[in-house]
Structure 1
Amino acid sequence: MDECPNRKIFDSLSSTFDRLEEAAWFIRLMEEHYHSADRFRWSLSSFLRTLKEVMQLLTMELQGNKALSAILSQKKAELSSDPLIEFLYKQRDIVVHKSMLKPASKGTVGFTRGRGLKLGLGMPIDPLSDSVTAIKKYIYHAAKDTDFLGILYTEEDGSGEYTCVERQWRMSEFPDKELTQLAASAWEKVAQALFNIAGIMGAKLVKPNFELGNPNHVHFEIYNPEWVKEQLEYYKKWIAENET
């Protein structure tokens, strides 16, 4: 029985495909840790590193294949000239050789019923701070004065409404697109370049697609009413003891 062409090509490019999957995994970690600033940034940094390594590994695995040399060089040049890929590659070099990455970060404190924000107050969130710092800041001011937005749910009332923070991560050079969307788009571009090469080698592959998680789940951090009540009582007590 003849060996499956896809398996033969996959085996010959196994390190490259593995690194592509690793890059995808780091996007998943970005989503999983969307509200934990350090873990989000570390996952982003790892994504940038592995994304650039995909084509580097492909070059190594095709070393000596003169028939594909010119096509590979063309694909690498096309990727490097793509505005998004070029920018992310440069960010990878900064992370590896110069300093940590601090994307633009902002959020909205408010309440939700599980599908979008119903009412909220926008504010910047330090890219080195978790999302919970934003709601704690609002709770502190509510304890000191009043919950003027009426967004602090301190009891489970059956309405399905909960206090929340909706967070956004951005790159200043691409202000209109959320950061995990940028990452997914970049992943697809690099994956397509790899798939094109594999296709020329004889593989039959479908167009690569990275499906992000539901933004109503990823971008929102929802707080238990009991926790909100505890925080409100804590700050009221702290203010009474320290600011009166």
Structure 2
Amino acid sequence: MTKNSTLDRLEPAFDRFQEAHFWIHGLERYYHQAEPFRWHLNVFIKAIKEIVPLVRKALQNESGFKDWFEPFGEKLSADPLLRHLFKNRDYVVHHGMLALESSGSLGITEGRGIKLGLNFPVNPNEDSDDAMGAFIRALAVNGDFLGFLAEDEDSLPCVERYWRLPGIDEDVVDACARAWLILGETMAAVAEWCGIERPQFNLQCRHSSQQLHFKVYNRKSLRAKLLDLRAQPNFVMAADAHDAAPLSMEDEN
């Protein structure tokens, strides 16, 4: 076995491993867009499920590899997270779409965490923008009694959102990152067995929790949307509706 020939044969497996890394960043990018997020999750799971078969195919004829790799394969097959992800992939192939759960809050943030938030239903088939739009419609009818749209230079309106797969407690992107690192340990060991310097895989390139879970909005634009709704001919406010502060656009620059 020569190092160059082994690398050539392992290239498809490592390529799929790096592809999965790419899809993790796609999940981050589209975290607040329901359909692209689901599509990226689907291809991420597809990619990680193909890695071990590609490794086995590449090195199946190398003396001693099958027996050496067997404990790694058994450990990966028994891993609860990987088993659950692969089960979801099988469901997509044979039955239909991934069944995701979504939860969230709408409120204001000062750049770290949420300062004032209300739990608000976030349909897993809708974007965060849709949730914000529904919230603004509710404020138009019932009044901005908490001052969500009142002028405040230190904060911004936001949606804080989380995605989960049924049966997995952690956030979907966190789960995918952990699955990638689990497989990374095996890939690093395979590389070392082949005589290659053991690579160190990490995800220090990931977005922060604030960047991932929060989408911020321009307060002036949201206020304009609310006022446009109230200006509609057939619009009716609730009898007890009131705003915590005036929402006129007259003083806006």
What TM-score do you get using the length of structure 2 for normalisation?
0.86
User: What is the aligned counterpart of 1:84 among 78, 81, 84?
Assistant: 81
Residues 18-43 of structure 1: CA deviation (Å, up to 9, x unaligned): 10010011110000000000000000
Please tell me the residue identity of whatever aligns with 1:204: E
Residues 80-110 of structure 1: CA deviation (Å, up to 9, x unaligned): 1010011111111111221101211011000
The reply on whether 1:123 has 2:117 as its aligned counterpart is no
SS in 1 for 2:91: helix
Q: Which runs of 5+ in 1 are unaligned?
A: none
Shift of 1:79: 0.4
Q: Distance in 2 between matches of 1:231 and 1:102?
A: 32
Q: Which runs of 5+ in 2 are unaligned?
A: 238-253
Structure 2 equivalent of residue 181 of structure 1: 174
Shift of 1:14: 0.8
Superposition pairs of residues 47-58 of structure 1, within 5 angstroms: 47-58=44-55
The reply on whether 1:136 has 2:129 as its aligned counterpart is no
Please tell me the residue identity of whatever aligns with 2:12: S
Please say if residues 230 and 236 of structure 2, whose CA atoms lie closer than 8 Å, have aligned partners that are also in contact: no
Q: Distance in 2 between matches of 1:191 and 1:97?
A: 28
Structure 1 equivalent of residue 201 of structure 2: 208
User: What is the aligned counterpart of 1:241 among 213, 222, 234?
Assistant: 234
Superposition pairs of residues 1-244 of structure 1, within 5 angstroms: 9-153=6-150, 157=152, 159-175=153-169, 177-211=170-204, 212-238=206-232, 240-243=233-236
Shift of 1:242: 4.9
Aligned length: 235
Q: Distance in 1 between matches of 2:92 and 2:224?
A: 39
Please say if residues 99 and 166 of structure 2, whose CA atoms lie closer than 8 Å, have aligned partners that are also in contact: no
Please tell me the residue identity of whatever aligns with 1:151: F
Please say if residues 9 and 198 of structure 1, whose CA atoms lie closer than 8 Å, have aligned partners that are also in contact: no
Q: Distance in 2 between matches of 1:235 and 1:9?
A: 65
Q: Distance in 1 between matches of 2:34 and 2:139?
A: 24
Please tell me the residue identity of whatever aligns with 1:131: S
Q: Distance in 2 between matches of 1:231 and 1:183?
A: 37
Q: Distance in 1 between matches of 2:201 and 2:49?
A: 17
Shift of 1:63: 2.8
What is the identity percentage for the equivalent residue pairs of Structure 1 and Structure 2?
33
Shift of 1:235: 2.0
Larger displacement relative to structure 2 (227-236 or 165-174):
227-236
SS in 2 for 1:66: coil
Shift of 1:219: 0.9
Shift of 1:9: 4.5
Please tell me the residue identity of whatever aligns with 1:197: V
Please say if residues 32 and 128 of structure 2, whose CA atoms lie closer than 8 Å, have aligned partners that are also in contact: yes
Larger displacement relative to structure 2 (13-22 or 203-212):
203-212
